[in-house]
Structure 1
Amino acid sequence: MTSTSLVIGGTSGIGLATAIRLAAAGDTVHIAARRTDRLAAVAAEHPELIGHSVDAGDRGALDALFAELGTVDRLIVTVASNAGMGPIAGLELTALRDAFDAKYWPTVTSIQAAIPHLKADGSITLIGAITGRMGMSETAGIGSLNAAVEGLVQPLATELAPIRVNAVSPGGVDTPWWDFVPAEVREQLFAQTAATLPVRHVATADEIAEAVVFAATSRNVTGTVIETDGGAHLGSVAA
């Protein structure tokens, strides 16, 4: 029987790469996002993906979507925010609140809406980031956001069992998340980052999606945060 997957935030980056992988594996894949222009672009290039215009922070809209979908095997939440970075002394708290409003609360809202519709052997997979666990300067704001997302995993894996709950924690990834940085600066930053990583490259969205699909589909993995950071957690390496 075909499995049904819903990828929230599935129109770009890790979310889109995950949706493509799941569809290639035979799932019926629905993607949800706010921006209708991105949904239209994905529909033109990937007609196998079924798009829905939904704000993940709107519980009523999510309830309506799940009522339409019926039973879901896998929920993957890939909403993201690049707000909340910078030195803590000068960090604007409104920016940090915006970051939580963009990622943490939509993640929790999506989980709450999904619970009545997930199969007993279904799964929930979230996206955190290494800033939630590494002592990286000037990331206290965004790091606390990602720590909050990853902090959901173990309690919910127990509370919602046998539904499996996991997260994937990437390091730097070449996705539209970085569009706020000018292209030339971004390329230089990626080159510098790659030189310090044991794998010697910055990840693609598809490489992270490979781990997301594993977490979502492996029936013996729950309560786990999978690090896929190119070895960044090991610290700098010699050139």
Structure 2
Amino acid sequence: MSKRTYAIIGGTSGIGLALASKLIARGDQAVIAGRNPRKLADALEFLGKAATGRSLDSTDRTALAGFFSQTGPFDGLFTPAASYRTGAFRDGDTDTSEALFAAKFWSQYWTVHAALPHLREQAAIVLMSGAASARPIGAPAYAACNAAVEGLARGLAIELSPIRVNCLSPGTTDSELWRERPAEQRESAYELWRRLCLVERPARVEEQAEAALFLLDNGNMTGSTLFCDGGYTLR
């Protein structure tokens, strides 16, 4: 089988980096993008010669077009990149409502749009939402944004066929994002998650990457959302 090439927008850390590592380990190539040049350099050193990458702000449509025009064609696309804040509806804060949608929904929407001319006919796209789409516990804009991403995956699956489009919906994951936060805040969130989900622990980054890889590989999956949430949405 010939080498396949995958774009990962948000591939410099966390789930994106773990997926890139898995793709390369099986003989494929990864083109990663991330906002932070230092993290990008570190990720490329970690991944080795089968990976290339560029700094990219996924909310910048001009930058997205430039990224894809200089890379590809691609057999798959994963879009976990997002930087945002959440908050209560009563606060009326645009940073936790409109800006949240710009960072998580519209960035993925326009990423797919920019990538489309550079995707192979049988390519696969995996968007990323979050389990709050199905079981909100506050931050209604965040719940709505995740639900919108999942709806986008269904709509794109119909319009872009035979390209397959699915969505990964993770729960709390023991990732670099959480490890960089104060220990008290992290442990409090993890303890709450243990009580809320069925497996009684946060997910591992590798587990989320394996779920994304399944969606990229399985030729009969399209228009679906895969909840890798430890049973959180069942409680």
* 1:1-239 pair list within 5 angstroms: 1-47=2-48, 48-85=50-87, 87-136=88-137, 138-178=138-178, 181-235=181-235
Inter-partner Cα distance in structure 2 for 1:134 and 1:192: 14
The letter of the residue matching 2:21 is I
Inter-partner Cα distance in structure 2 for 1:212 and 1:223: 14
SS at match of 1:152: helix
Note the alpha carbon deviations across 1:177-227, whole angstroms, 9 max, x for none: 336742123123313422442212110111111000100111111000001
The letter of the residue matching 1:133 is A
SS at match of 2:127: strand
SS at match of 2:201: coil
- Number of corresponding residues: 233
Q: TM-score, normalised by structure 2?
A: 0.93
Moved >6 Å (runs of 4+): none
Deviates more, 1:187-196 or 1:74-83: 187-196
Cα pair 2:84 2:104 within 8 Å, conserved? no
Structure 2, gaps ≥5 residues long: none
Compute the displacement of 1:20 (Å): 1.0
Inter-partner Cα distance in structure 1 for 2:98 and 2:196: 32
Cα pair 2:24 2:47 within 8 Å, conserved? no
Q: TM-score, normalised by structure 1?
A: 0.91
Cα pair 2:84 2:96 within 8 Å, conserved? no
SS at match of 1:69: coil
Q: Quick one: structure 1 residues 65 and 94, their matched pair in 2 at CA, closer, same or farther if it must change by over 3 Å? A: closer
Superposed CA RMSD in Å reads 1.6
SS at match of 2:70: helix
Note the alpha carbon deviations across 1:3-31, whole angstroms, 9 max, x for none: 11000011111111111111112211010
The letter of the residue matching 2:189 is L
Inter-partner Cα distance in structure 1 for 2:103 and 2:210: 24
Cα pair 1:84 1:91 within 8 Å, conserved? no
Cα pair 1:82 1:177 within 8 Å, conserved? no
Compute the displacement of 1:145 (Å): 1.3
SS at match of 1:103: helix
